Amino acid sequence: MKYISSLSSPVFNRHCGRTLAILGSTGSIGTSALKVVAKNRDALKVVALAGARNMSLLARQAETFRPECLGVLTEEKARELRALLPAGYNPQIFVGQDGYVALATLPETDLILAAQVGAAGLVPALAAARAGKVICLANKEALVLAGNLFRQTCQDSGAVILPVDSEHNALFQAFIGHGGKQVSRLILTASGGPFRTKSVEEIRAVTPAQALKHPNWSMGAKISIDSATMMNKGLEIIEAVHLYGASPSEVDVVVHPQSIVHSLVEYADGSQLAHLGMPDMEIPIGYCLGYPQRLNIGLERLNLAKVGTLTFEAPDLMRFPCLGLAREALAAGPSHPVVLNAANEIAVQAFLDGRITFTGIARLIERMLSNHSLTSVHDLEDILDLDAQTRTRSEEAIGKGEC
C-alpha cells in the first residue's frame, strides 16, 4: 500500500507559530479544532476562519482568535457578519465558493483544516491540494468524490494530506510508523450507531431526533445520520482505499460499540496494531495540527480498567444496507461513489426534513446507483456535473414518492 501523498513539508520543522485556516470553523470539527488552538496558542495562529450560515458563532470565534480573513456563503451573510464584529476589527470577508478557495490557498497559511460538510468541501480542499498545502482533511466526501484526482494532484504539487477522521488517523499512526510495508489489511472500527441493537421493524420507525443521538460521539447532523445508517463507514472504506492505496478487499469493518479502538492495521505476519483513545475529535485534530509532534490536548486520559470491556462484532448488512451499497459503488467504478454520495446527501436532508423515512435513505441511494452507468470522472468538472445531475434526479424521485 502507498500513502496518498508524501509526508515532507518545511512546515513540519516548525513547532511554533504555525498559521492555520479553518474551513468549516462553525461546525463540530471546526469548534473542536479551535479548542485545540486555544490550548496551544504558541504553536498555532489562526489566520482564516470560514463558516457558511451560523454568523453569530463565526463572529464570536473571530472576536476570540482575530484572524485577518473570514469566509461565508453569501453576500447577505457577509453583511450580517460585519454587523456582528467588534468596532475596530476589520478582517477581509471572502464570499461563496471562490471565497473559500481563496482562503484555502492563502500564501501565508501553513495548514488548512478542511472541515466543511459534504460535497461543498471538495473544491476548496482540491484547491489547497493544487496549491501544495498541508491539508488536515476532515471532509471525507472530498476523497469519496475525487480520490484519484487528489492522489494525482498531491503527486504533482507536493501537497500533504493528514487524515483527521479518527479511524483514518488511527490507521495513519499504525501505518506510517512502519512505512506502510507488508500491510495486509486495514480494519476500520464502527460504533454501530444508535440503532445497532434495533430490529428491522424498529429501524423502519425511527425519527430524526433518535437518529441524531449518537451513543459516543458529538458530531454534525449529516455525519450523525450517516453513522446511524452506517453510510459513514461506507464512505470511510472509500476514503481508506484512496488514502492508503488499498484495494477494497483489503479494507474491513468491525463493529466496536465502545469507540475506544479507533482502527487497526494488520501486517503480513498476522499481527495487528491498534490505536486506542478516548472518543474525542480533539485528539486526531491535535495530532494533525501538531504533526509530527503531539500537542497539549488536556483531555481525560483513557483508563482501560475503568472502561472494563471492549467488544467487537461483525456488521449486519441486512439492517444497515448503506454499508453494502458503498462497497458496491466502490467496486462498480469511479463514477458510482459520486452518485452514492450525492444521493446520500439529498436523502439525509430529506430524512431530516421529514420528507422520507430512515429506510428510504438506502432505497433512494440504491435506486440512483441502479439507474447509473459508469461514466468518465477524470476531471473536476465531470465530477461536479455528475454530482449535480444526481442531486436533481434524487429530488425528483423523492418528489414522486419513489423511496
Residues in contact with ligand NAP by the rule CB under 6 A: 24-30, 51-54, 73, 115-117, 120, 138-141, 165, 217, 219-223, 281
Minimal distance in Å, beta carbon 52 to ligand NAP? 3
At closest approach, how far in Å is the CB of 319 from ligand NAP?
22
Which residue's CB atom is positioned nearest to ligand NAP? Answer: 27
Question: Which residue, 380, 3, 330, is CA-closest to 161?
Answer: 3
- Per DSSP bridges, beta strands 261-267 and 272-276 are antiparallel
**Sign of the torsion formed by the C-alpha atoms of 255, 256, 257 and 263:** negative
Name which of 33 and 368 has its Cβ closer to ligand NAP: 33
CB 72 within 8 A of CB 48: no
For residue 97, the minimal CB distance to ligand NAP (Å) is 7
Question: Smallest distance from the beta carbon of 321 to ligand NAP, in angstroms?
Answer: 20
**Which residues 6+ apart lie within 8 Å of 249 measured at CB?**
none
Measured from the CB atom, the residue of 79 and 378 that comes closer to ligand NAP is 79
* CB closer to ligand NAP out of 158 and 279: 279
Which residue lies nearer to ligand NAP by CB, 85 or 158?
Answer: 85
The answer to whether 214 touches 224, Cβ cutoff 8 Å, is: yes
Q: What cell does 16 get?
A: 511554533
Contacts made by residues 179-184, CB under 8 angstroms, sequence distance 24+: 180/1, 180/2, 180/3, 180/244, 182/267, 182/268, 182/269, 183/1, 183/244, 183/246, 183/250, 183/265, 183/266, 183/267, 183/268, 184/250, 184/266, 184/267, 184/268, 184/270
Nearer to ligand NAP, 219 or 265 (CB): 219
Nearest approach in angstroms of CB 117 to ligand NAP is 4
**Whole-number minimum distance, CB 374 to ligand NAP, in Å?**
25
Q: Are 330 and 248 in contact (CB under 8 A)?
A: yes
- 22: its cell numbers: 479553518
Q: Which one, 142 or 371, has the nearer CB to ligand NAP?
A: 142
Q: How far is the CB of 239 from ligand NAP (least distance, A)?
A: 9
Residue 381 neighbours by CB under 8 Å, 6+ apart: none
Provide, rounded to whole angstroms, the least separation between the CB of residue 139 and ligand NAP: 4
Contact assessment for residue 106 and residue 21, using Cβ atoms and an 8 Å cutoff: yes
DSSP secondary structure of 139-152 = -HHHHHHHHHHHHH
Residue number, 54 or 375, with CB nearest to ligand NAP: 54
| Cβ atoms of residues 229 and 133 within 8 Å | no
Q: Which is nearer to ligand NAP, 375 or 380 (CB)?
A: 380
